[in-house]
Structure 1
Amino acid sequence: MKKSLFFAVVMFLGTVSTINAQKFAGLQKSPTDISYAKTDRNAKPDIKVIYSRPQKKGRTMLGDKVPYGKVWRTGADEATEIKLFKDMKLGDGTVKAGTYSLFTIPGEKEWTVILSSDLDVWGAYSYDEGKDIARIKVPAAKGDELEAFSIAFKKVDKGYHMVLGWETVRVEVPFYN
């Protein structure tokens, strides 16, 4: 009995030291975040966005590191993913419930917002316009300075506005029921 208890303790301590010796990578440079569109705090979501939040770190991002007029992954790392839990109107069309990649083409005065059926892609390097599900142009406005790229939802009368913000730029993308 004593030998088996001793053996069990030695095995446990060996496992613990192995776990403690494990090396973990550093923190993400652009942490992943999730934003939800809900009617209230306790409701199930109507829209969910999963994205990575690049940081300015003293750099000019929009119009420089993220060039105007070129397709952008709308965040960092993998392309931003948007899930519609029900059919939603976007611009003149209706987008079926489902999961899509969210790309944008930033501009000084307006942005083109794109929902694509191409999922699990790194950045916008392999962006394929033939997989676009919907496109809408929205005006760019000014707001307070934001260090990290951010996405939030604002409840409006017939749905939500998905607000994209970075630096002093704000873009509102209308999704309606």
Structure 2
Amino acid sequence: MKTTFLWMGLCLLAGMSVQAQTFRGIDKSPMDMAYYPDDFAHDRKFAPQKIDNLPAMVRVTYSRPAKNGREIFGTKIAPYGKVWRVGANEAPEIKFYKDASIQGKQIKAGTYALLAIPNEKEWTLILSSDVDQWGAYSYDEKKDVLRINVPTAKATEPIENFSIQFAKGTGNQVLMRMGWDTTLVEVPMVF
């Protein structure tokens, strides 16, 4: 009887080690999440006083590629004049927890793919109903929910990893800030 249990235990351990070896390695562009209010999910649980009992308004889930000494915008990584997935891997998803407006255009609460057409002096920001797409390879303009132009600015020093963060604007305004290399973009949203 003891031998049977020992044998079953060894088989179980051997099976677990085989399964553990099937995981793929760490992604070069790790996934991240940005909320408004900033760090909402964490603070809701551990520091509710930091979010002043505000509900979540918007969240972006995206991958953060690294610059790694490369030129970024206007190259094959993020070519000017072509639809780009705003990060790496899957197209980022932006979730609006409540209706909002961007440049006076109404956005219904829901989840959208976040894409852009970068250019040197401005980006065309696109929200698409086509979520769960890899990159922007299957981009279909007919599924655009929003298209706006926002100016670019220069960062004082290069930003190594593509980053998105939300900040409080004036009144009911929330600012979505994106930056990579020496390019910055700010998108005001009203809730």
Partner of 2:182: 168
Gap runs ≥5 in structure 1: none
Deviating above 2 A after TM superposition, structure 1's stretches of 4 or more consecutive aligned residues are 5-10, 39-44
SS in 2 for 1:94: strand
Partner of 2:63: 52
Q: CA deviation at 1:8?
A: 2.8
Matches of 2:72 and 2:80, distance apart in 1: 10
Q: CA deviation at 1:168?
A: 1.1
Deviations 1:93-126 (A, max 9, x none): 1100000000001111111111010111111111
Matches of 1:156 and 1:10, distance apart in 2: 64
Structure 1 residue 152 corresponds to structure 2 residue 165 = yes
Matches of 1:51 and 1:9, distance apart in 2: 46
Structure 1 residue 63 corresponds to structure 2 residue 74 = yes
TM-score, length-scaled by structure 2: 0.86
Judge which range, 95-104 or 56-65, deviates more: 56-65
Partner of 1:128: 140
Matched residues, percent identical? 48
TM-score, length-scaled by structure 1: 0.92
Number of aligned pairs? 174
Q: CA deviation at 1:9?
A: 3.4
Give me the CA root mean square deviation. 1.5
SS in 2 for 1:14: helix
Matches of 1:103 and 1:73, distance apart in 2: 5
Matches of 1:12 and 1:150, distance apart in 2: 46
Matches of 2:168 and 2:10, distance apart in 1: 53
Matches of 2:60 and 2:6, distance apart in 1: 46
Matches of 2:7 and 2:187, distance apart in 1: 59
Q: CA deviation at 1:50?
A: 0.6
Matches of 1:97 and 1:148, distance apart in 2: 29
Structure 1 residue 19 corresponds to structure 2 residue 16 = yes
Matches of 2:143 and 2:5, distance apart in 1: 57
Q: CA deviation at 1:62?
A: 1.0
Q: CA deviation at 1:6?
A: 3.7
Matches of 1:10 and 1:156, distance apart in 2: 64
SS in 2 for 1:28: coil
